[in-house]
Amino acid sequence: MQEVELKTDVALGVAIPSRNARGRIARLGPVIDAVLANHGYPPVIEQLLAEAMTLTALLGSLLKEPEGQLTLQAQTKGGIIDLMVCDYLGGELRGYVRHDPERLADVSKDPTLQELFGHGYLAITFDQPAAKERYQGIVPLEGKSLAEAAQSYFAQSEQIPSLVRLAAAKTEGHWSAGGLLLQHLPEGEEGRERLHTRLDHPDWPHVAILGGSVKPEELRDEAIPLDDLIWRLFHEEEELRTLPAIKLSRGCRCDPDYVRSVIARFPADEREAMVGEDGVIRVDCAFCSSSFAIAPGELA
Ligand SMILES: [Zn+2]
């Protein structure tokens, strides 16, 4: 098996069996640069999407199925940002943000979620097609950060005590980001009937304190492999397990052939109306900002 480097663009699963805790740690660099390069967003939006992608990597790596998909969607009416979508499929990440540039110009340098989204909601969808399992939870976009919103998602929507840390920064034109997710699952990984989970189990504060001591710089620092960082935090535990690492990359599922096949199904007169001044039909992918030019003759 090919060894996955544990320094950047990678997610690693962690388990601390004696404390009934599991977690994911992720670090992202070039993958964020690659996603953001196509969009040309202002710094505030780039920062938000870098954190959102890091969260998406953490949550996506919880999926058991290789074909499983995780979607993070923040939505609002009348916010400066009205839509943010990130998704994960087999280690591939993509994302985009729809915002009002004029209103964004007036916002503070380090805005709260509420300043950006107004009264918005964060929907997290786990989709595992083989098991025919689809689960969506929704929480208000409140608090200072996406990490806080994600923590309340797990507490409110899934009744799982969780810790989420996200860090992202751009230095010398390149992004580096890292995230840590820790959860207390005293009744095991399976099942959603956790109504009787004790939210005050003594093992959990212990894990949360150790995990919470991680510094943003450590999460982002490519010089510290993820297994070393986990060891730093939890080396005093009885047993510390890691799962096979997942390589992260930028990936979009838009496909010129698929786009062509969709357009080809429209009636001829409707296709005619889609042709622009340059004589081709243009279809844009919001996720990756790719633009497909389809000549009407191709569809005949
Ligand atoms: Zn695309």
- Give the pLDDT confidence of 171-208 residue by residue, as tens digits: 999 999 999 999 998 765 554 444 445 555 678 999 99
**How many angstroms is it from 220 CA to the middle of ligand 1?**
27
**How many angstroms is it from 291 CA to the middle of ligand 1?**
8
* Interval 4-16 mean pLDDT: 95
Q: Where are the beta strands (DSSP E) in the chain?
A: 10-16, 21-28, 69-76, 81-89, 92-99, 120-128, 133-140, 162-171, 174-184, 241-242, 246-247, 249-250, 281-284, 291-294
**How many angstroms is it from 137 CA to the middle of ligand 1?**
26
- Give the pLDDT confidence of 14-35 residue by residue, as tens digits: 999 989 999 999 999 999 999 9
| Residue entry with tokens 């929704």 | 138
**How many angstroms is it from 20 CA to the middle of ligand 1?**
39
What pTM does this model have?
0.90
In this predicted structure, what is the pLDDT of residue 187? 66
**Cα 238 to Cα 283: distance, rounded to the nearest angstrom:** 55
- Give the pLDDT confidence of 217-273 residue by residue, as tens digits: 999 999 999 999 999 999 999 999 999 999 999 999 888 888 888 888 999 899 999
C-beta separation of 56 from 121 below 8 A:
no
**How many angstroms is it from 86 CA to the middle of ligand 1?**
12
**How many angstroms is it from 255 CA to the middle of ligand 1?**
7
**How many angstroms is it from 251 CA to the middle of ligand 1?**
8
